[in-house]
A and B are shown apart, each in its own frame.
Chain A
Amino acid sequence: MNNLMSLDPMTLALFLPLFGAMAAFIAPRAASVIGLATVLANLGAVGWLAFEIRAAAELITPLGGWAPPLGIALRADGLSVAMLALTGAVGLLVSFSALDALRDARQRQYFWPLWLLLLTGLNGVYLGTDIFNLYVMIEVIALAAVGLTVLSGTREAVRAGLEYMYASILGALLFLMGVGFVYLQLGRLDFAGLIAATPSAALSAALALMVVGLLLKTALFPLHFWLPAAHANATAPASALLSGLVVKAALYIFLRLSTYMPLPDEILVTLLGALGAGALLWGSVQALRAERLKLLVAWSTVAQIGLIFIAFARAGQVGLVESWKAAALLILAHGIAKSAMFLAAGRIKDEVGHDIIRDLDRSAIRPTLAQFTFALAAISLIGLPPSLGFIGKWSLMEGALQAGYWHWVVATMVGTLLSVAYFSRVFAGFLRFDRMQGALAEHKGWALADLAPLTLALAAISLGLMAAPILSFIELGYPFGAMP
Chain B
Amino acid sequence: MTPDLIYGLTGIAVFAIGLVGALCAQDRLRRVLALKLCSVGAGFILVVAAWREPPASPDPVPHALVITGIVVMVSATAVALALIRRLQTLEAEADE
Give the B-binding residues of A (Cβ under 8 A): 69-70, 132, 135-136, 139, 142-143, 146-147, 150, 154-155, 158-159, 161-162, 165-166, 169-170, 173-174, 176-177, 179-181, 183-184, 187
Contact = CB atoms under 8 A, between A and B. Distances in A.
A146 B45 contact: no
Interface string B49-92: 10000000001011011001100100110011001101100110
Contacts of A173: 15, 18, 35, 38-39, 42
Contact of A136 (B15, B19, B59, B72): B72
B35 A166 contact: yes
Say what secondary structure dominates the interface of chain B: helix
B87 A180 contact: no
Contacts of A136: 68, 72
A174 B31 CA distance: 15
Say what secondary structure dominates the interface of chain A: helix
Of A70, A158, A174, the most chain B CB neighbours within 10 A belong to A158
Contact of B38 (A143, A147, A170): A170
Contacts of B83: 146, 150, 158, 161-162, 165
Nearest to B22: A170
A142 B76 contact: yes
A139 B87 contact: no
B72 A184 contact: no
B79 A176 contact: no
B interface, size bucket: 35 or more
B87 A159 contact: yes
B76 A155 contact: no
A229 B18 CA distance: 25
Interface of B: 8, 11, 15, 18-19, 22-23, 28, 31, 35, 38-39, 41-42, 45-46, 48-49, 59, 61-62, 64-65, 68-69, 72, 75-76, 79-80, 83-84, 86-87, 90-91, 94
Contact of A180 (B22, B42, B90): B42
Given A155-B90, A170-B35, A183 B46 contact: yes
A127 to B, nearest CB: 18
Contact of A183 (B62, B75, B94): B62
Nearest to A162: B83
A166 B49 contact: no
A132 B76 contact: no
Given A158-B83, A177-B45, A181-B45, A143 B15 contact: no
Contacts of B94: 155
- 10 closest A-B pairs by beta carbon, nearest first, are A180-B45, A183-B49, A176-B42, A173-B38, A155-B90, A177-B42, A184-B49, A180-B46, A139-B72, A158-B87
B42 to A, nearest CB: 4
Of B15, B35, B42, B94, the most chain A CB neighbours within 10 A belong to B42
A139 to B, nearest CB: 5
Given A166-B22, A170-B38, A176-B69, A158 B76 contact: no
Contact of A139 (B8, B31, B76): B76
A143 B76 contact: yes
A170 B62 CA distance: 21
A425 to B, nearest CB: 31
Given A143-B75, A161-B83, A169-B76, A155 B91 contact: yes
A162 B28 contact: yes
A25 to B, nearest CB: 14
A462 B90 CA distance: 45
Contacts of A170: 19, 22-23, 35, 38
Contacts of B45: 177, 180-181, 184
A407 B46 CA distance: 42
Of B41, B48, B62, the most chain A CB neighbours within 10 A belong to B62
